[in-house]
Amino acid sequence: MPIGTDDHPLRVAIIGSGPTGFYTAEHLFKQKDYVVEVDVYDRLPTPFGLVRGGVAPDHQKIKSVARAYDRVAKDPRFRYFGYVEFGTDVKLDDLQKHYHQIVFTVGAQIDRSMGIPGEDLARSHAATEFVAWYNGHPDYRDRKFDLSQETVVVVGVGNVAVDVCRILCRSREALERTDITNDALEAIVNSNVKTVYMLGRRGPAQAAFSNPEIKELGELAITDIQVPERDASIGDATKAFMAENPDKSTDRKLEIIQQYAEEKRSGKPKSLVLRFCISPVELIAGEDGGVAKVKLVKNELYLNERGTIRPRATEEFEEIEAGLVFRSVGYYGVALPGVPFRKDWGVIPNEKGRVLVHESGPDAPVPGLYCAGWIKRGPSGVIGTNKPDALETVQCMLEDIEGGKHLSPEAPSRDAARDLVRERKPNYFSYADWQELDELEVKKAEGTQRPRVKFTSIEEMLAALDRS
Ligand code: NAP
């Protein structure tokens, strides 16, 4: 029986309602060959993944990409099953009974560790947890961060590290125009934090942050940015690499950082200090058992056999007195029940989005299972990077339908899938429920400069919609 017709629509489940989940649905709706029905599942009542819980609250323009996802959700072929967790509320074998194809777009949910002594001390945290806390993610709303400390160290120089530093260094006036949670706003503006260090293990030319992000750090109302002259300079290995691989964006990045190194402090109450070619080797406890100092080693850079500039520790050590540490050295994917996983890479093993399983012979595709976004390629790129990534996966899905390679669900109907969800999670959130919640959040912010005041616990969300 052909699939993708009016009588037998192609039924697809997407697990994860972040940007990649929406781009996957959008690409499926744009193709013209098959009649398709898409159900998007998320373990939270609220959709949009990192756009809601990761993108910094003072970057509302980036968050406005959610309007494009609203347009996807308006399509009558789209349904949302929020507050339904894959692996507990619905399992892989449940979904295999209702869909021809299942796509995992769950992102990368945990942080990487630095692997140094003292990393587990009190007041040493993953930046991802701090980000989720100030963005009001229900799993992190009760986290406590000791902002009575005067000096904070942020390890890593990616865009997440920049976000954390910037939020710590923002004024009340700036934060009051964002949708940061009230608790985080008060905690940050009333904090004792005076100096924030951001540490890069390689040099300024290799820093992972993008140029608009680093430029923004120089424009903060209450914080001066500083870069020690020595840290801003580039060594012979980098000079040779740049001569071989000219890149305008790197030139501009160096220009911005050099300018920071030359500028004098203007006397603002807070300082943000960018350091390069330096790695933490130990977090040292104080008398109360929490972090009190960070021991650092100076690195030299060299060109390795793969043609990449790498750091190598020297014998030169120093210590920074700091009572709070955030490691921001990348995200990491989490295994899903019943789904193949590459623990060493933190991704689902796949070829162009087709999930692979490793049995006795060469890796083989698992019929009907796909992935896209960070759980497919790792935590890299900006939100828009996930659009072509999702397209590659959707193209494989369509090829496989054409080739008859898909799941054979027993009950492939919209009503049967909805009945399953209703039975397992009577309190699930439809897209209309989310839109009601969305309106209530915006309403809560009336009379303030804030774009919305978020519900940060699932109980509050349920109560707001008069659910038990
Ligand atoms: P990232 O861009 O991969 O940066 C990770 C940083 O951690 C790098 O500086 C890396 O240095 C460093 N690092 C890794 N292991 C380390 C170690 N053991 N010791 C010290 N430093 C270490 O990751 P991210 O900042 O988590 O961001 C994830 C993705 O989201 C990125 O693609 C980012 O651009 C994107 N994002 C974008 C925005 C935005 O557009 N505004 C905002 C947030 C995030 P090396 O380079 O030396 O490995």
Residue 360 has pLDDT above 70, yes or no: no
Give Cβ neighbours of residue 61 (< 8 Å, ≥ 6 apart). none
CB 179 within 8 A of CB 448: no
- Band (pLDDT 50/70/90 cuts) for residue 65 is very high
- For the Cβ of 113 lying below 6 angstroms from any atom of ligand 1, the answer is no
DSSP, collapsed to helix, strand or coil, labels residue 317 as strand
d(CA 192, CA 307): 44
Report which DSSP code applies to 287.
Answer: T
Q: What are the b/e assignments for 428-440, b being 16+ CB within 10 Å?
A: bbebebbeebbeb
CB 47 within 8 A of CB 80: yes
Indicate which residue's Cα is closest to atom 36 of ligand 1: 159
Written as six digits, the tokens of 39 are 């159900």
- For the Cβ of 208 lying below 6 angstroms from any atom of ligand 1, the answer is yes
DSSP, collapsed to helix, strand or coil, labels residue 401 as helix
- Band (pLDDT 50/70/90 cuts) for residue 363 is confident
CB 159 within 8 A of CB 217: no
Indicate which residue's Cα is closest to atom 31 of ligand 1: 380
Written as six digits, the tokens of 215 are 């430029």
Indicate the helix (H) or strand (E) that contains 254.
Answer: helix 248-262
CB 431 within 8 A of CB 73: yes
Atom of ligand 1 nearest to the CA of 330: 26
Picking from 126, 131, 123, the residue whose alpha carbon sits closest to that of residue 114 is 126
Written as six digits, the tokens of 220 are 């903060």
Percent of the chain scored above 90 by pLDDT? Answer: 94
Atom of ligand 1 nearest to the CA of 112: 15
Dihedral-angle region of residue 459 (phi above 0 means left; psi in -120 to 50 means alpha; beta otherwise): alpha
- Band (pLDDT 50/70/90 cuts) for residue 44 is very high
Atom of ligand 1 nearest to the CA of 160: 25
Picking from 82, 102, 104, 83, the residue whose alpha carbon sits closest to that of residue 94 is 102
What confidence score (pLDDT) does residue 358 get?
75
pLDDT digit string, tens, across residues 408-448: 998 799 999 999 999 999 999 999 999 999 999 999 999 99
Q: Are strands 309-321 and 291-303 parallel, antiparallel or unpaired?
A: antiparallel
d(CA 451, CA 441): 9
pLDDT digit string, tens, across residues 255-266: 999 999 999 888
d(CA 256, CA 46): 38
CB 210 within 8 A of CB 380: no
What confidence score (pLDDT) does residue 362 get?
73
d(CA 94, CA 420): 8
What distance in angstroms lies between residue 80's CA and the mean position of ligand 1's atoms? 31
Q: The whole model's pTM is what?
A: 0.96
Picking from 30, 49, 40, the residue whose alpha carbon sits closest to that of residue 373 is 49
* DSSP track, 421-442: HHHH-TT-B-HHHHHHHHHHHH
Q: Which residues pair with 196 in a beta bridge?
A: 152, 272
Task: Give the mean pLDDT of 80-100.
Answer: 97
- For the Cβ of 206 lying below 6 angstroms from any atom of ligand 1, the answer is yes
Indicate which residue's Cα is closest to atom 7 of ligand 1: 329
CB 428 within 8 A of CB 82: yes
Question: Strands across the sheet with 278-285, in order?
Answer: 278-285, 291-303, 309-321
d(CA 354, CA 371): 7
Q: Which residues pair with 332 in a beta bridge?
A: 110
CB 104 within 8 A of CB 441: no
Picking from 330, 328, 331, the residue whose alpha carbon sits closest to that of residue 109 is 331
Amino acid at 270: K
Residue from 59, 160, 241 to probe ligand 1 pocket by mutation (most atoms less than 8 Å from CB): 160
d(CA 331, CA 222): 30
d(CA 163, CA 54): 10
What confidence score (pLDDT) does residue 411 get?
79
Q: Are strands 151-155 and 331-332 parallel, antiparallel or unpaired?
A: unpaired
Written as six digits, the tokens of 88 are 């507990």
d(CA 378, CA 20): 13
Task: Give the mean pLDDT of 296-302.
Answer: 97
Picking from 241, 232, 244, 243, the residue whose alpha carbon sits closest to that of residue 207 is 232
Amino acid at 238: T
Task: Give the mean pLDDT of 276-280.
Answer: 98
d(CA 195, CA 226): 11
pLDDT digit string, tens, across residues 188-206: 999 999 999 999 999 999 9
- For the Cβ of 213 lying below 6 angstroms from any atom of ligand 1, the answer is yes
Residue 254 has pLDDT above 70, yes or no: yes
